[in-house]
Chain A
């Protein structure tokens, strides 16, 4: 650990974390931040990965996502501009903390591991605009697993003012310090259900169950606590009980599973009944008809 500071002795800007979870997930057709990997949402996983490297980690959200229960549990930075893509999140973060450098992480990088992130932080060049990985696919900078220094803020604002919004092209034109990925697949991202299935099969031993597309409807108290009436999700849960356990980590459910019943495809079922692709699940809180 004898690495010399690269900035000629100046103290690097403090590093804050920004997890981007404001995308519209149009190709996945379900909220990517909520996709479950090994029982945790992508957003929770990204927040855990980033935490050891930063003084504080924030979730970047669109203006209309602040109340979403999945995101509401984390400190947030709200986009100030619409339809700018990921750059809006970065600009809002730089505006909120102009003295800080930002470790930016997209939440949809399921193969990203702690070692890859630690390598990036170790290689940080604070005297440059940014430190980023060079993509193993096309050689271009990876803007959404990168460190953005405070000095990138002014040129980035000017870039957006010129009507541009591609962070990759910005980094290509800036004095970005580019490093190679230790693992060529660590930054593969996941945008479609097909990519999700492919990544899941890469992540999991064959004995583990395959991901299933499940719809869940919420009623009464659970509807209020989930903040939604229904959702479509992809899960590895083998049973309704496992699915409830997963969802109870995402939402502030107050009812223990023992107090609920479960229906699959509009029939009461055992909690241990196997879930199948396409099933519609309803968790039934204590009833009070009549």
Chain B
């Protein structure tokens, strides 16, 4: 099994963790990212993940290799969901096994932080208000639209 994967079906950690079992490892650390019911004060109904998978898998594998190299972890896995997810669903799962707990904790933290910053994955949130938006893109995206509307109004006024 590749160490980094995307999946469109629910992530099942209890089945995945067996791959990290190793008699030489005394520490196991896992992180689960769940879909939260709000973001920046807006109630969230659900979300969609989309990824550029070819690059995402390559970059994900690189992150896992870096974590093992830097922190001396023995095994590391990461699975990221794609498609539509409801509040409470498991969106990303990271697990590390190592000789001792410190390597496992630090490697696990490194992986989830790098995954969030580096992988070409996009999240569209659907709000209870009926609106939706691409996280980290819309703040900059709405400004020109507003300018266009004002320009259109301006032209209209003088027509």
Contact = CB atoms under 8 A, between A and B. Distances in A.
Q: Are A and B bound to each other?
A: yes
Contacts of A289: 49, 51, 80, 92, 115-116, 119, 121, 123
Interface string A272-290: 0000000000101111111
Interface in B108-159: 112, 115-124, 134-138, 140-145
Given A267-B55, A288-B136, A289-B116, A220 B141 contact: no
Contacts of B59: 268
A259 interface: yes
Contacts of A286: 136-137
B50 A282 contact: no
Place the interface of chain B in its size category: 20 to 34
B91 interface: yes
B55 A263 contact: yes
A80 interface: no
Nearest to B91: A290
Give the most central of A223, A255, A285, A288: most B CB within 10 Å.
A288
Contacts of A30: none
A281 to B, nearest CB: 11
Contacts of B120: 219, 263, 282, 284, 287
Contact of B141 (A223, A255, A263, A290): A255
B58 interface: yes
B92 to A, nearest CB: 5
Contacts of B88: none
Interface string A224-255: 00000000000000000000000000000011
B13 to A, nearest CB: 16
A284 to B, nearest CB: 5
A221 interface: yes
Contacts of A259: 140
Contacts, number: 82
Interface residues of A, number: 21
B26 interface: no
A266 to B, nearest CB: 4
B43 interface: no
Given A287-B119, A290-B92, A263 B137 contact: no
Given A254-B143, A254-B144, A290-B91, A285 B58 contact: no
Contacts of A263: 52, 55, 120
Given A221-B134, A255-B141, A256-B140, A287 B55 contact: no
B73 to A, nearest CB: 19
A157 interface: no
A266 B54 CA distance: 6
B83 interface: no
A284 B55 CA distance: 11
B33 interface: yes
Contacts of A285: 122, 134, 136-137
B116 A254 contact: no
B50 A220 contact: yes
B79 to A, nearest CB: 12
Interface in A162-189: none
Contacts of A266: 52, 54-55, 58
Interface string A59-83: 0000000000000000000000000
A13 B136 CA distance: 54
B110 to A, nearest CB: 13
A263 B91 CA distance: 25
Interface of B: 33, 49-52, 54-55, 58-59, 80, 91-92, 112, 115-124, 134-138, 140-145
Given A254-B141, A285-B122, A290-B112, 9 more contacts: A219-B122, A220-B122, A255-B140, A267-B55, A284-B52, A287-B121, A287-B136, A288-B121, A289-B51
